[in-house]
Amino acid sequence: MLDPHLLRGQLADTATRLKASRGFELDVAGLERLEAERKQIQTRTQDLQNLRNTRSKAIGLAKTKGEDVAPLLAEVAGIGDELKASEERLEQIRAELEAIALRIPNLPDESVPAGADESANVELRRWGEPRQFDFQVKDHVELGAREGWLDGESAARLSGARFTVLRGPLARLHRALAQFMLDLHVGEHGYLECNVPLIVGADSMRGTGQLPKFEDDLFAIRVGDSRRYLIPTAEVPLTNLVRDSIVEAEALPMRLVAHSMCFRAEAGSHGRDTRGMIRQHQFEKVELVSITRPADSDAEHERMTRCAEVVLEKLGLPYRRMLLCGGDMGFSARKTYDLEVWLPSQNTYREISSCSNCGDFQARRMQARWRNPETGKPEPLHTLNGSGVAVGRALIAVMENCQNADGSISIPEVLRPYMAGQERIG
């Protein structure tokens, strides 16, 4: 959620920036009308409260003097009726303003390039050279289907489209990737490993920005009388650990990592990547989350992105780092780096990690604060999240980049301890 001062004191400028950077149309006239009414009714409410208090004291004084208090009682009753109506309207206006604010995306950082879509993203650097094959490369579906290790047909019978069954050494390789990433981030990068719920309430989804705008992309379930959601990423429960709390300065930065299932309806994918495991309703990810002081979040963003890059470098997977333009960034982000891994079968780079600095945007929605030692007062903290990395897409990249002419797959050296020393499968 944006700083309320931007919507009250700098509304026109904020609307211009959102239009230019995000293509987002802010209803300035509607907000101004609601804000003017809020101020008017808030002032009237306060006046009525003061008047009721004054008249109540007058009733007490009149009673001690034995005077007739009926007129005063009637006046107080009338004030009470008007006050109740005024308070109800004030609460209604505040709810309308909050509903609007919850649908406004974050403002991009000044360093974010302008642009409407991914064509305006900026490549910052590359690592590794794509392998030159002396045989016809296969995609991950062909490589996995040969031994029945990657089975989309069985998954479709079980659950429908965009699900996959993994078997045998390919299932083990998938597990090995997740274990390797966790050990790396905990042992070398200093993250605290967490195991988080896969089902959360609406407040958690609202806190990180999935609700209300992206409800169609979520899987919802009914638990008793409440509506709950399957997490689209471990970012949601990890970040919400600081919701409605004040974190002491010495506890920052908080660096958290979790391996979890993720569930996405992919409502906006429009038939893209229907083949194989690129875009699934259910997938696994190792997620990085940092909670920091505002002054430290830019440096933490660079550090987090570097932690994700190390995963790909240790696996020997060529990749590039992209700085996303305003129109291609996520709703809650103020700055995002995407890491894109080379996929030989597509002869291009595909996203495998997205690392975002959300500034205080999520913190304001969650009421997550830290105590500034200089002022002694609670202030919104900064939140960051990143894939460290997507396990399924890492599996695809290893399969395709490490394939051999006979259809076998060489196992990257860092994964062999997790694969009982095997050097290849197939």
Give me the residues paired with residue 383 across strands.
291
Q: Binding residue per annotation — 193? A: no
Residue 340 is labelled as binding a ligand:
no
Is 54 annotated as ligand-binding? no
181 CA to centre of own chain: 20
Does the annotation list 235 as a binding residue? yes
410 annotated ligand binder: no
226: annotated binding-site residue?
no
Q: Which residues are catalytic?
A: 264, 279, 351, 354, 393
- Residue 374 marked in a binding site: no
Judge whether 353 is annotated as a binding position.
yes
Q: Tell me the CA distances in angstroms from 377 to 207, 240, 247, 290, one per residue in order.
A: 22, 21, 11, 21
364 labelled ligand-binding: no
Is 351 annotated to bind a ligand? Reply is yes
Question: How far apart, in whole angstroms, are the C-alpha atoms of residue 180 and residue 189?
Answer: 13
| Cβ 239 vs Cβ 385: under 8 Å | yes
Task: Tell whether 56 is in a known binding site.
Answer: no
Q: Count CB atoms within 10 A of the CB of residue 175.
A: 17
The answer to whether 385 is a known ligand-binding residue is: yes
354 is an annotated ligand-binding site residue: yes
Are 209 and 361 in contact, with CB atoms under 8 Å apart?
A: yes
* Cβ(38)–Cβ(45) below 8 Å: no
Report CA dihedral (87, 91, 92, 94) to the nearest 10 degrees.
140
Binding residues for L-serine: 233-235, 264, 287, 385, 387
Binding residues for ATP: 264-266, 351-354
Binding residues: 233-235, 264-266, 287, 351-354, 385, 387
